[in-house]
């Protein structure tokens, strides 16, 4: 009878605690806990105490959960594992590891779930050594071949950057399930081994693996890195056909994949089709617009996010918004958002990365002195990213004094970073300071600092082809090189002049032209012309930033052959259609504030999107410019502004007219390759590719998903 009474109490308490756990109601759970203490109910205390640990953990009462564990007179492996799991899931890795050691000292033997749980806390570099020790411990037990333990081991090695160790663990697993397969694919993708992730996925499919939504999300991450749009569309189609549950994590990966493959139309369609969005969904779409230089769309989407008020913007959100304003030429809007952050309007304080974005924003707007002053007033010690952004801006806008200072700061902070040496030496070269440039190059040799070689990828019939500037590993490189020579000759006959200022070596002009012609993205474009059908788009991805000459080359390539060209470099996307690039490709001429009234005929229709009253930057087009002589005389009226003669055309067809006034190195713009300026002109229209004046892409003319 007494036993039945105890069982009845156990069942009652268990049912009550389970209900509290499922509902996440901590107050009711505390009431049950208090009743257990008052009635001195001790039978089966280990089980019920473990349920209390789970309850408090779910309600984020970690101190209460730990107190329950510490007050237990008897603990088993389940109670220890429950608390270790709580710490691990909440991100308290050191507490989880310390508790595991305490458990071993108490004499309790861990089971497979304990090992699997504690290994997830060893993913950081500091915990890897202990993770190896736990791995050695596992090898001495019967849990070596257990699926849970194996998956946790390979996940630990992958997240710690030891992908080869992870692959060895995966290979040694006697059985593989979708969890272990997904873990290794995710490890490859997260570390940038995109081709290996894709090949492993294909291999596992042949072995009979049935992917789940997490597997597809990991694969899409790899395809994003490869910019393999056709493969990404196939995966998307397979997901739709196989009716895999479209969890948010999978939809977020689709948004990211399409945007990184240069197809924002698909990204937005996936985003708009979501019935529920997380902050990651918003961030993925914002980052996509930002990388494509669509500042206006970034701001509009950010405003929509705030209007819906379902997800609170986080640090990454503001990073995407500020970056979008920077790439979109909207420096005043970016500064407005940043200073609103400082006031607390958005409930988020600016962090170092946001300050770095402002430096980049000011640098792109040629406000170098203002950027330098901003750095000096920051509440943080400037990071290499901040000095690097300033140095890059000084290189572009020829501010040698501040650029040299920024470069020297970088060499002190990051003496092993090859990029710092390269940009500083390029700054010296552009100033004609060849001795200083050679000194920096010699310093690189002394420190054995190696510059990352440029390479480009292009996907043809679901096969990725890689081209290097110096290597000859591609089997059809010579064919591509021959075609490239033909293109160069053809473009020169049409008026193309290589931009030799992109070659920062003290060599003759003929040698500079040869160096330019060997750039990997040009080889990829030539190969794409050979290997694809007429009229089909060509998509190229570059591991470094594209130079001005290659950008101009791609524009004339698109114009002459009627091809859409998508170029993704280290910093952003360039979608080129009919010789016009989505990056804006506009000229900023600094004008005095006292300049007389400018009629609409003087400014292009793009002026509303890119006019900045503070920096007095205006976009010009030869089509709508009243007269270069008139402009020259107007500028001459206001000292101390210098007067520049129009430069000869650089990098596009000569007969189209002079290059944009006052911006060396920019290609010319003729009447025929300007966007339409008719009565339907919409200066603030939401054109998908961010070119005001074009019709926005609506649902009726968006491409269909296959």
pLDDT, tens only, 498-540: 766 666 555 666 677 777 777 888 888 888 888 888 888 888 8
Range ranked top by mean pLDDT from 259-263, 493-497, 547-551: 259-263
Res 153 pLDDT > 60: yes
Per-residue pLDDT at 433: 82
**Which stretch of DSSP H or E encloses residue 466?**
strand 463-468
Q: How confident is the model at residue 454 (pLDDT cuts 50, 70, 90)?
A: confident
Per-residue pLDDT at 611: 31
Res 649 pLDDT > 90: no
Range ranked top by mean pLDDT from 26-30, 41-45, 696-700: 26-30
Per-residue pLDDT at 283: 95
The verdict on whether omega for the bond into residue 640 sits within 30 degrees of 0, i.e. cis, is: yes
CB 497 within 8 A of CB 649: yes
Cβ burial of 14 (10 Å; 0-12, 13-18, 19+) is middle
CB 181 within 8 A of CB 147: no
Q: What is the pLDDT of residues 45-55, one digit of tens each?
A: 787 888 888 88
Nearest partner of 54 among 98, 94, 14, judged by Cα: 14
Per-residue pLDDT at 270: 94
- Angstrom distance (rounded) from CA 181 to CA 509: 54
Report the share of the chain in percent with pLDDT over 70: 77
What lies within 8 Å, CB to CB, of 694 at 6+ separation is 675, 676, 685, 687
Q: How confident is the model at residue 375 (pLDDT cuts 50, 70, 90)?
A: very high
CB 216 within 8 A of CB 244: yes
- Lateral strand order in the sheet of 580-581: 463-468, 455-460, 538-542, 565-568, 573-577, 580-581
The more confidently predicted of residues 5 and 194 is: 194
Per-residue pLDDT at 150: 85
For residue 451, is it left (φ>0), alpha (ψ between -120 and 50) or beta? beta
Per-residue pLDDT at 673: 39
Nearest partner of 36 among 25, 27, 48, judged by Cα: 48
Report the share of the chain in percent with pLDDT over 90: 18
CA 688 to chain centre: 19
Max distance between CA atoms of the chain, in angstroms, equals 108
Q: Classify residue 309 by its DSSP letter.
A: -
Q: How confident is the model at residue 682 (pLDDT cuts 50, 70, 90)?
A: very low
Res 637 pLDDT > 70: no
- Beta-strand ranges (E) seen in 583-692 are 589-590, 617-618
Q: What is the pLDDT of residues 212-270, one digit of tens each?
A: 999 999 999 999 888 888 889 999 998 888 888 878 999 999 999 999 888 899 999 99
Exposure class string for 201-210: b at 16+ Cβ within 10 A, else e: beebeeeebe
Per-residue pLDDT at 292: 87
Q: How confident is the model at residue 210 (pLDDT cuts 50, 70, 90)?
A: confident
Per-residue pLDDT at 279: 94
Q: How confident is the model at residue 692 (pLDDT cuts 50, 70, 90)?
A: very low
How many beta carbons lie within 10 A of that of residue 265, not counting itself?
A: 15
Nearest partner of 195 among 459, 525, 589, 482, judged by Cα: 459
- Angstrom distance (rounded) from CA 119 to CA 155: 9
**Helix, strand, or coil (residue 429):** helix
Looking at every residue in the chain, the average pLDDT score rounds to 76
Range ranked top by mean pLDDT from 12-26, 326-340, 487-501: 326-340
- Angstrom distance (rounded) from CA 105 to CA 442: 57
Listed in sequence order, the DSSP H helices in 398-433 are 400-413, 418-430
244-248, 369-373, 605-609: least confidently modelled range: 605-609
Cβ burial of 450 (10 Å; 0-12, 13-18, 19+) is exposed
Per-residue pLDDT at 336: 93
Per-residue pLDDT at 448: 67
How many beta carbons lie within 10 A of that of residue 495, not counting itself?
A: 15
Give the chain's end-to-end CA distance (angstroms, integer).
68
Nearest partner of 269 among 257, 387, 279, judged by Cα: 257
For residue 72, is it left (φ>0), alpha (ψ between -120 and 50) or beta? beta
Per-residue pLDDT at 588: 33
Q: Classify residue 699 by its DSSP letter.
A: G
Per-residue pLDDT at 278: 93
The more confidently predicted of residues 166 and 73 is: 166
CB 609 within 8 A of CB 683: yes
Nearest partner of 305 among 333, 286, 324, 328, judged by Cα: 286
Q: How confident is the model at residue 639 (pLDDT cuts 50, 70, 90)?
A: very low
- Angstrom distance (rounded) from CA 313 to CA 294: 19
Q: How confident is the model at residue 7 (pLDDT cuts 50, 70, 90)?
A: low
pTM above threshold 0.85: no
The more confidently predicted of residues 497 and 316 is: 316
Task: Please state the rounded mean pLDDT for residues 591-620.
Answer: 30
CB 355 within 8 A of CB 333: no
**Helix, strand, or coil (residue 274):** coil
Integer Rg of the chain from CA: 30
Range ranked top by mean pLDDT from 48-62, 629-643, 679-693: 48-62
Q: Where are the domains of the chain?
A: 455-581, 677-706
Res 362 pLDDT > 90: yes
- Angstrom distance (rounded) from CA 3 to CA 347: 57
Q: What is the pLDDT of residues 308-347, one digit of tens each?
A: 888 889 999 999 999 999 888 888 999 999 999 998 888 8
Kindly list the distances between the CA atom of residue 263 and the CA atoms of 93, 279, 280, 288, in Å, as whole numbers in the listed order. 39, 21, 19, 9
Degrees (nearest 5) of the Cα angle 89, 91, 97? 90
CB 290 within 8 A of CB 324: yes
Per-residue pLDDT at 37: 77
How many beta carbons lie within 10 A of that of residue 645, not counting itself?
A: 10
Per-residue pLDDT at 601: 26
The pair phi, psi for residue 568, each rounded to 5°, is -110, 115
- Angstrom distance (rounded) from CA 54 to CA 47: 11
Nearest partner of 232 among 224, 243, 244, judged by Cα: 224
Res 62 pLDDT > 70: yes
The pair phi, psi for residue 604, each rounded to 5°, is -75, 165
């Amino acid at each position: 009878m007494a036993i039945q009474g105890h069982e009845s109490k156990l069942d009652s308490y268990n049912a009550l605690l389970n209900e509290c756990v499922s509902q996440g109601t901590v107050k009711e759970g505390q009431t049950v806990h208090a009743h257990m203490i008052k009635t001195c109910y001790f039978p089966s205390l280990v089980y019920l105490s473990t349920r209390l640990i789970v309850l408090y953990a779910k309600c984020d009462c970690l101190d209460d959960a730990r107190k329950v564990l510490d007050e237990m007179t008897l603990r088993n492996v389940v109670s220890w594992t429950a608390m270790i799991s709580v710490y691990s899931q909440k991100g308290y890795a050191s507490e989880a590891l310390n508790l595991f050691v305490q458990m071993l000292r108490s004499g309790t033997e861990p089971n497979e779930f304990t090992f699997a749980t504690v290994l997830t806390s060893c993913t950081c570099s500091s915990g890897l050594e202990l993770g190896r020790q736990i791995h050695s411990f596992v090898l001495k037990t019967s849990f070596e071949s257990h699926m849970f333990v194996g998956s946790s081991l390979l996940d630990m090695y992958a997240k710690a950057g030891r992908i080869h160790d992870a692959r060895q663990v995966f290979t040694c697993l006697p059985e593989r399930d979708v969890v272990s397969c997904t873990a290794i694919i995710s490890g490859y993708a997260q570390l940038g081994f995109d081709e290996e992730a894709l090949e492993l996925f294909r291999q596992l499919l042949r072995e009979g693996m049935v992917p789940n939504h997490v597997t597809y999300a990991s694969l899409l991450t790899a395809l994003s890195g490869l910019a393999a749009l056709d493969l990404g569309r196939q995966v998307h189609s397979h997901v739709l056909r196989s009716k895999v549950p479209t969890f948010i994590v999978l939809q977020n990966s689709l948004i990211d994949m399409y945007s990184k493959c240069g197809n924002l139309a698909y990204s937005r369609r996936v985003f708009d089709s979501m019935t529920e969005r997380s902050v990651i969904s918003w961030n993925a779409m914002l980052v996509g617009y930002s990388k494509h230089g669509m500042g206006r769309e970034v701001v509009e989407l950010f405003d929509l996010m705030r209007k819906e008020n379902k997800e609170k913007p986080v640090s990454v959100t503001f990073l995407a918004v500020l970056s979008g304003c920077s790439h979109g030429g909207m420096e005043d809007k970016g500064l407005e958002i940043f200073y609103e952050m400082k006031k607390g309007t958005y409930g988020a304080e600016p962090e170092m990365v946001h300050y770095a974005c402002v430096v980049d924003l000011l640098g792109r707007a040629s406000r170098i002195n203002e950027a330098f002053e901003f750095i000096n007033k920051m509440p943080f010690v400037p990071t290499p990213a901040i000095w690097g952004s300033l140095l890059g801006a000084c290189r572009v806008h020829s501010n040698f004094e501040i650029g040299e200072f920024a470069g020297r700061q970088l060499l002190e902070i990051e003496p092993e970073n090859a990029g710092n040496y390269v940009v500083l030496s390029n700054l010296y070269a552009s100033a004609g300071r060849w001795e200083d440039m050679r000194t920096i190059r010699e310093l690189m040799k002394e420190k054995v600092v190696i510059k990352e070689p440029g390479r480009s990828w292009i996907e043809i019939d679901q096969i990725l082809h890689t081209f290097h500037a110096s290597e000859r590993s591609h089997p059809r490189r010579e064919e591509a090189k021959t075609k490239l020579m033909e293109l160069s000759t053809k473009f020169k006959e049409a008026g193309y002049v290589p931009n030799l200022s992109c070659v920062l070596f003290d060599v003759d002009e003929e040698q500079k032209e040869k160096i330019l012609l060997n750039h990997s993205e040009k080889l990829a474009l030539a190969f794409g012309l050979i290997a694809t059908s007429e009229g089909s788009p060509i998509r190229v991805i570059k591991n470094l930033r594209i130079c001005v000459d290659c950008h101009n080359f791609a524009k004339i390539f698109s114009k002459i052959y009627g091809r859409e060209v998508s170029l993704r470099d280290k910093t952003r996307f360039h979608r080129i259609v009919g010789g016009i690039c989505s990056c804006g490709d506009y000229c900023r001429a600094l004008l005095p504030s006292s300049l007389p009234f400018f009629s609409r005929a003087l400014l292009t229709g793009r002026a509303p999107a890119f006019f900045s009253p503070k920096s007095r930057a205006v976009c010009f087009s030869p089509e709508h410019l009243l007269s270069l002589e008139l402009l020259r005389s107007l500028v001459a009226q206001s000292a101390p502004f210098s007067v520049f003669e129009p430069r000869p055309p650089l990098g596009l067809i000569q007969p189209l007219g002079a290059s944009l006034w006052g911006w060396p190195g920019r290609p010319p713009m003729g009447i025929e390759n300007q966007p339409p300026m008719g009565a339907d002109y919409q200066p603030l229209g939401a054109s998908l590719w961010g070119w005001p004046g074009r019709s926005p892409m609506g649902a009726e003319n968006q491409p269909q998903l296959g």
